[in-house]
C-alpha cells in the first residue's frame, strides 16, 4: 500500500516540473531522458527515490514516471517537443 508521503512527493515533483517549465533546458538543445533524469535527481534528490517502484509493471521507478508525465504535459502546452518517437526519449525545448 502506498504511503501518503510517497504520493505527495511524486505529485509534487510532477507539479514542480510542469509549473517551472524545466528552466534548465535551453531552447534548441536536445535532452535525452537519461540526461533529464540526472539533472532532476541533482536538483531534487529528496523527491527522487530509486527504490520506489511502480507496482503496475514492477520495474519503473515512480519519480521517472512523473518526469515523463511532466514532459507530455509540457508537450501539450507547446513548451517541449519530442524529437524522435522511440523509447529513448529525445526532447527539445521550443522557442518562447
User: Which phi and psi (to 5°) does residue 12 adopt?
Assistant: -60, -45
Domain that holds residue 20: 4-93
* Spatial contact of 24 and 17, defined as CB atoms under 8 Å apart: no
User: What grid cell was written down for 71?
Assistant: 514532459
| Rounded Cα–Cα distance for residues 65 and 67 (Å) | 5
Q: Which residue has the higher pLDDT, 25 or 84?
A: 25
37-92 pLDDT, tens digit each: 999 999 999 999 888 776 677 667 889 989 999 999 999 999 999 998 766 689 99
pTM: 0.84
Number of domains the chain contains: 1
CATH number of residue 75's parent domain: 1.10.10.10
CA pair distance 30, 15, nearest whole angstrom: 22
Amino acid at each position: 500500500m502506498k504511503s501518503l508521503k510517497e504520493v505527495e512527493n511524486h505529485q509534487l515533483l510532477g507539479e514542480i516540473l510542469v509549473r517551472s517549465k524545466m528552466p534548465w533546458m535551453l531552447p534548441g538543445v536536445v535532452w535525452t531522458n537519461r540526461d533529464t533524469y540526472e539533472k532532476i535527481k541533482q536538483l531534487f534528490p529528496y523527491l527522487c527515490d530509486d527504490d520506489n517502484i511502480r507496482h503496475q509493471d514492477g520495474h519503473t521507478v515512480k519519480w521517472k514516471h512523473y518526469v515523463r508525465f511532466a514532459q507530455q504535459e509540457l508537450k501539450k502546452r507547446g513548451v517541449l517537443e519530442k524529437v524522435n518517437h522511440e523509447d529513448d526519449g529525445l526532447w527539445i525545448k521550443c522557442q518562447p
